[in-house]
Amino acid sequence: MSRPILEIIGLRKSYGELEVLKGIDLKVDSGKLVFIIGPSGSGKSSLLRCCNRLEESSSGQILVDGEEITAHNADLNRIRQNIGMVFQHFNLYRHMSALGNVTLALRKVQKLSKKQAEQRAREALDRVGLSDKEDAFPDQLSGGQQQRVGIARSLALLPKVVLFDEPTSALDPELVGDVLNVMRELKEDGMTMLVVSHEMSFAKAAADHVVFMDQGLIVEQGTPQKIFGEPEHARTQTFLARMSAH
């Protein structure tokens, strides 16, 4: 059995008195698309943010490719190169072109030359279907295109895992499909992805594994067929019924 690329063991996270993660255990195998669903406030985004140390967990361990990233002497710069993050609100620099946004971390963090960084950035923009937009600034791009630049920025670092935190929730409905198509292609290319999203039909169609979280716990997990088709827990059933009523 090969080890999982991402392993979360007994993860807890509190903000003062409020415990938002209450002992999460999760394994993500290489090349898999794992979808986390659940009501707002169930701890999904906190879990993702702990995985690249944007948030510090209160206890527990997170291992990426066998290396414990929650160790206090872990190299944060290296960790964040191995774990890409795609945010809800794109987080692009407005004063930089698409190419500039993607090359920034390559130059600053990976210390690539301008030429190397631009070559890698162009490959990443090409992968998300934006090779013709490298000179465009964020304000000249649609929300969907901005999000695809955000994905390209993650991919350019050649991460082992990419985390997606509600990647389509800030987009107009007609732009959501473009971003989901990019994610589908990345899955076909073998990229490991951990996704928090309300796009249930995409989860049904594309996920390898679905995790249902509620109140800081994993309530149940399994294949999309099992979670969407025959969920065991009342909480999962209620959540999915509410989602399909929308």
Confidence at residue 35, expressed as pLDDT on a 0 to 100 scale: 97
| Joined tokens for residue 155 | 């991919």
- Integer CA distances (angstroms), 215 to 44, 187, 212, in order: 10, 29, 10
SS3 content of the chain, % helix, strand, coil (to 5): 40, 25, 35
What's this model's pTM, rounded to 2 decimal places? 0.94
Answer for the pair 7, 192: CB distance below 8 angstroms, yes or no.
no
Count the neighbouring beta carbons within 10 Å of the beta carbon of residue 180. Answer: 20
Return per-residue pLDDT of the chain as tens, 246 residues.
Answer: 678 999 999 999 999 999 999 999 999 999 999 999 999 999 999 999 999 999 999 999 999 999 999 998 998 888 888 999 999 988 899 999 999 999 998 999 899 999 999 999 999 999 999 999 999 999 999 999 999 999 999 999 999 999 999 999 989 888 899 999 999 999 999 999 999 999 999 999 999 999 999 999 999 999 999 999 999 999 999 999 998 876
Residue 76's pLDDT is what?
84
- pLDDT confidence of residue 137: 97
Complete edge-to-edge strand list for the sheet that includes strand 6-15: 18-28, 6-15, 59-64, 67-68
Considering only CA atoms, which of 210, 199, 205 is closest in space to residue 170? 199
**What local confidence, expressed as pLDDT, does residue 1 receive?**
66
Q: What is the DSSP letter of 133?
A: G
Q: Cα 230 to chain center, whole Å? A: 26
What CA–CA distance (Å, rounded) separates 44 from 59? 17
